[in-house]
Structure 1
């Protein structure tokens, strides 16, 4: 029996939403086989839009130090417009759904609870399907709860549908660890449910949760629980538990055929192929949301075709600085001499040449960033060498108005297929979880628990070797390894909605989010180039209170528990 995910919006958000008026009762829904399946579709329906659907065709990246975007949402964020009544991340979007995360995630939890309360007696003829549906709903509830507390901090653990006369004043706020323990326990139950597959192998089931997703959610939740934001005493036991969960996930998935894809650059240019022997063996979960407007595709609408009416999120100099040299495997810079990041401290061991800044870098740099001199394969049907220097065809734009050109000196390459006139394949999906993240979770947690052990080195070097980067040197201290694994996450997972949350859980927001810089390039008479760093944007949201999002004012007032009433600083 197959769930029809194409019917997600057309079906489950139609007759199922008329329950309150008495025309269709929950009992009637769950006594009908098709409506029962449709209600599970409804639970999936609270999956929000990710990818390029923040603000007006923005990634989450410009809300961190990965990128700059000249758009209302990103500019509002930089200006400090984050309050319990205004959140630039949750502004209405033309092509996204579930933008109001607070309500969206609670709705998903509610619908999952309703389904789980009725699944035992529901009309599901196949016992196998019943247990699979139960596992999916349980995992969806854990997913929504995890996304909720990652953004807003610990929340009441609700596992039953609310009755109409429920007394909300009885709700209290648990600790973050108690919430994570619940999520991990739910994931363990799903992992033990053999009726859920480890991988989706038929196209009709695309978008359904698997046991592999449970490993990914558990690993991420335990990693965050061990991180400085939620582990101020640096309890090593939490790191050990996070390392064990990540290793459990890596071992289980690789035993079932999961592996890193060979071509990092092309990995992000299409949706996962669904079969029993897929070419893409890395993706754990891909959000099943087709392009809402395939003609007005991602590249034509924003992220980075030079000269289009809106260039979108452009990589920052800070992101560019994070890519190491391939020959030596050494960082290019060791930090900055000034608070404005215009005077880098170059690493003499790296082999980096400031006069040729884009030569010999980590291959992931070339897969992620278009820079001055980079080849864009299809501008007007011809190969175009990027000209981001002053006066060039793709030059830096510093005027107060205009959206067509870069504001940092760079353009986004990741997710863009330069061989297509439209720039991005229409069927590209957002890869929410992938195996590389589990390896990096393992490297980080193992180092924090036990120092840079062979297990920590093996995990991070597996990710580096995929792109032919040298192994990390064997004599690193725990602190040195910590900095290297944090940088590895930055380059491997660039623009994948990890950095925004990583700098918060590490509590380094005040080090990363005060400003971002760009590169102004001048072409000299002898055709060489000179390079000048400059501040692109100063930002206001870097205080400790910005480590969490404020609970929306109208919702915070419902529950009188003082700790739940609002997050600190708001």
Structure 2
């Protein structure tokens, strides 16, 4: 049903109803009936999937302009980490454009929804209204975090009144909290029948919890998250890693860690972890992406555009729950053994199998193993191939790659012109648990439910429970570790650094990379700070690692610039400081 509706809405909107920024056409007679209103709803959902950069959905881009991920050097991705973003930066401009287009699509239906109310059941009318307002709320929740004060439009704005002043961020936050409270009970508890593409009651309470958490309204955030968790009973839960977790910490000969049952095509169909997702479909023109091509290794038909940093790799604890600087399990000569399994489940590192190949960025490996003959049943042993992951000028710039957006099922179609319709998760149950735990910690309500929320995430990764009796500060550090590693490459780190007030510390100085896959000694680290950021002995670290200087200006880099084109069109807008 969802696919048919989306195909219909694509046809409908291909005529003239793409809405530019703050400007919207006259809504005329649309929607004339419930079917048109439903198509308008699907059009709003579909528009969210246009959020991308380098043909990669933006949720898998944002962490690569922080301390945990690194992009191929270039203006759009190096400037955000060197305090050099300009008003014409494509990455910084696109969310403004797409979110306001999506809001305008919502208003096209919402402004005239009353005219068809008598032709719908009350339940159907309320749900349609609630879903449109949920989408609008999500868009505003992103806009205020990226740009601060933005115009809060509650209805369509035509060309004659396109100049709209900005609304203070706190006022928009309260509007969103009130909106989500008003609509949540009008949504079905679950929308699993639509592949979790459509908003549910759980999603509404989770969005409310996230908005409240970011607004530092911790009691409200905990209550909303608890409501979402309670409603999730029997519907949403963590999905256990598949048996490939047994390959974590081992080399390529053992097998390939992979995430298809959660983050792959199968996972988006069957995993209970997903609460809300962005849907992609090759049957719909323009509703695809090419993230596997941009993410994968050279041998894996990719271009290594994104990858984890050495800082993230060093962050993963040992299996005993201790940092690598203190754990007796850590061996610098075998740095990937006895580690939190999420290192290998979420990241590809030297000596592992990745996209069907032995992954070795070091030039000492002139050839590597190709396991595809074995995978395809054509041979019982792997073949040898030239190691382009070590020789190509555009091999991984960090020395590591992401596993999360990769699905081996897409390997056959991955190429320069290849496309994928792998869905992308926006809300998942693991984040919901961590939202709840953080809100309770910051409210200093340190009961057993806090430990249980964090430990559920750790147990799924086969990591030990937190020790009992931790202080608020210790629990905060534990929570920040979990968000950093569990939500890696989910696109949330950029926001976390700013709302925690640590971006000026974490993003000033250097982030470390290991493009040549050099071995290193334990002396490169002196410890971790209270946000679980590694502290380096730079004199020692630069013997082994390359580094990228990063700059964060407190007076500028907490927000992105309002696009120049918007400043030209709307004379009431005031540019963010520093641009």
Please indicate, yes or no, whether the TM-score normalized by the shorter chain is above 0.5. Answer: yes
CA deviation string 1:204-259 (max 9, x = no partner): x7622222221121111111001xxxxxxxxxxx22222222222212222x5211
- Which residue is 1:161 aligned to? 156
TM-score by length of 1: 0.79
Structure 1 residues 124 and 79 mapped into 2: Cα distance closer, same or farther (>3 Å)?
Answer: farther
Alignment counterpart, residue 331 of structure 1, candidates 301, 323, 327:
323
Kindly indicate whether the alpha-carbon contact (under 8 Å) linking 1:152 and 1:549 is maintained by their aligned counterparts in 2: yes
Greater CA drift, 285-294 or 59-68: 285-294
- Which residue is 1:340 aligned to? none
Distance 1:296 1:108 in 2: 19
Shift of 1:558: 5.6
Shift of 1:104: 2.1
- Which residue is 2:562 aligned to? 551
Alignment counterpart, residue 441 of structure 1, candidates 435, 443, 446:
435
Alignment counterpart, residue 481 of structure 2, candidates 483, 487, 497:
487
Structure 1 residues 282 and 118 mapped into 2: Cα distance closer, same or farther (>3 Å)?
Answer: same
TM-score by length of 2: 0.78
Kindly indicate whether the alpha-carbon contact (under 8 Å) linking 2:189 and 2:201 is maintained by their aligned counterparts in 1: yes
Alignment counterpart, residue 184 of structure 1, candidates 160, 177, 186:
177
Alignment counterpart, residue 406 of structure 1, candidates 393, 396, 401:
396
Alignment counterpart, residue 222 of structure 1, candidates 212, 222, 226:
212
Kindly indicate whether the alpha-carbon contact (under 8 Å) linking 2:559 and 2:576 is maintained by their aligned counterparts in 1: yes
- Which residue is 2:197 aligned to? 207
1:28 to 2:42 alignment: no
Shift of 1:10: 2.4
Kindly indicate whether the alpha-carbon contact (under 8 Å) linking 1:55 and 1:74 is maintained by their aligned counterparts in 2: no
Q: Which has the higher helix share?
A: 2
CA deviation string 1:373-427 (max 9, x = no partner): 2123623xxxx3x32334224889899x821x22222222223245774497944
Shift of 1:436: 0.7
CA deviation string 1:496-532 (max 9, x = no partner): 10111111111211222233212344589xxxxx995
Kindly indicate whether the alpha-carbon contact (under 8 Å) linking 1:416 and 1:423 is maintained by their aligned counterparts in 2: no
Distance 2:393 2:452 in 1: 47
- Which residue is 2:139 aligned to? 144
CA deviation string 1:344-378 (max 9, x = no partner): xx2x2453222211001111111112222212362
Kindly indicate whether the alpha-carbon contact (under 8 Å) linking 1:304 and 1:411 is maintained by their aligned counterparts in 2: yes
Aligned residues: 507
- Which residue is 2:280 aligned to? 289
1:82 to 2:93 alignment: no
Shift of 1:198: 2.1
1:5 to 2:6 alignment: yes
Report the secondary structure of 2:12's partner residue.
coil
- Which residue is 1:391 aligned to? 364
Shift of 1:82: 0.9
1:316 to 2:309 alignment: yes
Structure 1 residues 293 and 324 mapped into 2: Cα distance closer, same or farther (>3 Å)?
Answer: farther
Shift of 1:539: 2.7
Distance 1:296 1:17 in 2: 20
CA deviation string 1:187-213 (max 9, x = no partner): 1122121xx32222435x762222222
Report the secondary structure of 2:48's partner residue.
coil
Shift of 1:463: 0.9
Distance 1:88 1:80 in 2: 15
Aligned counterparts, 1:224-263, within 5 A? 224-226=214-216, 238-254=217-233, 256-263=234-241
Distance 2:519 2:438 in 1: 42
Structure 1 residues 492 and 251 mapped into 2: Cα distance closer, same or farther (>3 Å)?
Answer: same
Structure 1 residues 475 and 312 mapped into 2: Cα distance closer, same or farther (>3 Å)?
Answer: same
Structure 1 residues 323 and 215 mapped into 2: Cα distance closer, same or farther (>3 Å)?
Answer: same
